[in-house]
A = this chain, B = another copy of it.
């Protein structure tokens, strides 16, 4: 049902259409922590993700106006990702999810661990 009142008017459905799925919130979180992070750095940070999937997620986030893709048009290529205003506005929601997840993981005796990107020199 794509045309029922739920799908058309529910703010949660609207939000999850844009930042739901397996990788989008982690990506927003990462780009928020490391503004201007590069494609290759994201791949390393989230070792499980493949090119296809990462590229698709980034494209959708860009099309929905949450992130900005900055291509320096160099050889070899260099591309940075930043949050837009709309993307930044989503950060509190992503952090709220993260906080609850971390709390509950600890209550379950699991070790929460956030992605880290090595500083370059």
Contacts and interface: CB of A to CB of B under 8 A. Distances in A.
A79 interface: no
Count of this chain's copies in the oligomeric assembly: 2
B97 A12 contact: yes
Contact of A15 (B4, B90, B101): B101
Contacts of A101: 10-16
Q: How large is the interface on A (under 10, 10 to 19, 20 to 34, 35 or more residues)?
A: 35 or more
B6 A48 contact: yes
Nearest to A45: B6
Interface string A39-79: 00000001111000000000000000000000000000000
8 contacts: A6-B49, A9-B111, A10-B113, A12-B29, A13-B26, A15-B104, A16-B97, A92-B100
Interface pairs A-B: 6 shortest CB-CB: A11-B101, A15-B101, A9-B113, A96-B96, A93-B96, A4-B48
